[in-house]
Chain A
Amino acid sequence: MPGPLLYSANPWISHDFSVKYLNGEHFVWCSESYDPGAAATGSASASVAPSASPRTIFDVLHDDCAKEERHSALINGYRKTFKRLATDWLSAGRINKDEFDEIVAVVKGPSWRIWRPVLYVIPRAPIELAGRLHSVPYRRRASYGAELLIKDLVPKEFDLIECQL
């Protein structure tokens, strides 16, 4: 039985870019459980892979930021992803060259604060009723457990819990 909330852990800069450059539109991967690792054995939540667990993502980002881990696979992966996304947004006309340069300069820069984790806590019902909650196809999941996608989440639809380092 799915709970009333969905959880998504992200670096703070992801939220910032969405607000600053994409009219607040967030693309989020989310989970029915904040900590699938603590879910009852055999439950649907328990079969979500650690790499898709909001708690794991949150903890890794927190630890890597706190230790200023320059070899962080997660943060370096985000760096590449944001440069690719910015290129897509530029080619689609969603941002201009100045904004593209701002995104690239920030993600390439030595800031650790931008990678600190934030947690989106999302009431499920309104998103699901509007048909905006998508299940990730099984072949694309990290494991058997459910992984969910929202392509157009806006700030008024979730609470943001911020982590201070």
Chain B
Amino acid sequence: MITSLSELNPVTVAGILARAALALHNEDNPAAAPAIPEERALREAVIAKARELAGIEPGDESERAREVLGDILDSQRENLIGVTDSRGALLRLATKGDLPSDLYNIDINPNMEQTFGQRFAREKELIEASIRSPDRELHCQPSGNPENPFLVSLFAKRFPHDRLARSFIMLVVANRIGLTLHVHQAWRLYPDVVDLQETSDLIDMLKRFLRVFGVDIEMEGQHGRLILLADSPGGKPIQNLIKVRNPAIRGQRQTTITLSYFWAPANRNQAAFVVGVDQTKYMKMLRSRGG
């Protein structure tokens, strides 16, 4: 540490060292411009000290010399700001929906493994690729409460195939809890089956899918193929409140209806993204596409 810096605030000193390191590579970077009086003199002193520590000659302006000097300034700087709370920072970003999607852990609902059976491994690969490297993504913002079931993220990714009929978009819907994405829904959208022209966003894309494969459901006075948010008064179990509306479908022995929704253990009074899907129809379509 340069002695003359010792009287300054540690964060101020860290700033001086950071700007010195930036200036080594690019003096024209506005962030390298001196921010406090006499900073140029202090900068020269810290760089001279770093040269001395590294055994680099004063006239050596080579790329390697600048790298080494920058690394020395960085190592001194990192001790000044205090510990970086990386986990806390990543959790804040996750709650806001700002965490890069390839930093999440992925947990796929076991029901999906049952549904897909031997095909699950392939479906899992597609789900993970859609989350890690989506073409489009949408992160529903909560009210600020991380337990709120509106912490839902949607991802879409194109999977092109030489045969047009086998090209599709994977749409994944997941719940953000901490640093984990809990996947409850993942649907393949084939453009010749589901109209994907000019979808406004990924919720619209989900609605288009449900136009074809959805079934009408109702819950506490709301009905439709997608209920974005529904209340469960008195803490009643949500699965007991969701009903399939069309009795004809309900009565068909061969038809499996999947009801999917998100809720948070700490907030049993709400369910989000409640959908009903005719699983029989969907799986039949998948088999016809070799999926």
CB pair B27–A140 under 8 Å, yes or no, is yes
Using Cβ atoms and an 8 Å threshold, which residues of chain B touch A110? 102-103
Q: Which residues of B contact A113 (CB under 8 A)?
A: 100-102, 132-133
The answer to whether A91 and B92 touch across the interface, beta carbons within 8 angstroms, is no
Is the CB–CB distance between B85 and A88 below 8 Å? no
Q: Given A101-B88, A108-B86, A164-B135, are A88 and B18 neighbors across the interface (CB < 8 Å)? A: yes
Residue of B nearest to A151 (CB): B30
**Neighbouring A residues of B56 by C-beta, 8 Å:** none
The verdict on A4 contacting chain B, using a C-beta distance below 8 Å, is no
Indicate which residue in A20, A106, A136 contacts B28 across the interface (CB closer than 8 Å).
Answer: A136
Candidate in B17, B18, B27, B88 with the most chain A CB atoms within 10 angstroms: B18
With A109-B90, A111-B100, A113-B132 in contact, is A27–B31 under 8 Å at CB? yes
Tell me if B19 and A88 are in contact (CB < 8 A): yes
- Which listed segment binds B: A39-47, A55-63, A79-87? A79-87
List of A residues within 8 angstroms of B133 by Cβ: 113, 164-165
- Beta-carbon contact of A105 and B89 below 8 Å: yes
Residue of A with least CB distance to B16: A91
| Contacting pair B103 A104 (CB below 8 A) | no
Q: How far is the CA of A83 from the CA of B71 in the complex (A)?
A: 12
Q: Mark A6-28, 1 if CB is under 8 A from B, else 0.
A: 00000000000000100000010
Minimal beta-carbon separation of B32 from chain A (angstroms): 8
Interface residues of A in 92-115 (CB under 8 A from B): 92, 97-98, 100-102, 104-106, 108-114
Given known contacts A81-B22, A111-B102, A87 and B86 CB-to-CB distance under 8 angstroms:
no
Indicate if the CB atoms of B22 and A90 lie closer than 8 Å. Answer: no
A112 to chain B, nearest CB (A): 6
Closest residue of chain B to A137 (Cβ to Cβ) is B28
A99 CB, min distance to chain B CBs, angstroms: 9
Q: Given the complex of chains A and B, what is the CA–CA distance between A104 and B81 in angstroms?
A: 12
- Nearest residue (CB) in B for A139 is B27
For B89, list chain A residues within 8 Å (CB). 98, 101-102, 104-106
Query: B86 touching A105 by the CB < 8 A rule?
Result: yes
Is there contact, CB below 8 Å, between B15 and A92? yes
Q: Does A90 lie within 8 Å of B100, measured CB to CB?
A: no
A127 on interface, CB distance cutoff 8 Å: no
Closest Cβ of chain A: how far from B34's Cβ, in Å?
11
Residue of A with least CB distance to B24: A84
By a beta-carbon cutoff of 8 Å, the part of chain A in contact with chain B is 20, 27, 80-81, 83-85, 87-92, 97-98, 100-102, 104-106, 108-114, 136-137, 140, 149, 151, 164-165
Point out residues on B near A: beta carbons under 8 Å: 11-12, 14-19, 21-22, 25-31, 35, 70, 74, 77, 81-82, 84-90, 92-93, 98, 100-103, 132-133, 135
Given A84-B19, A87-B81, A112-B102, 8 more pairs with CB closer than 8 A: A20-B98, A27-B30, A84-B22, A85-B31, A101-B84, A102-B93, A105-B87, A113-B132
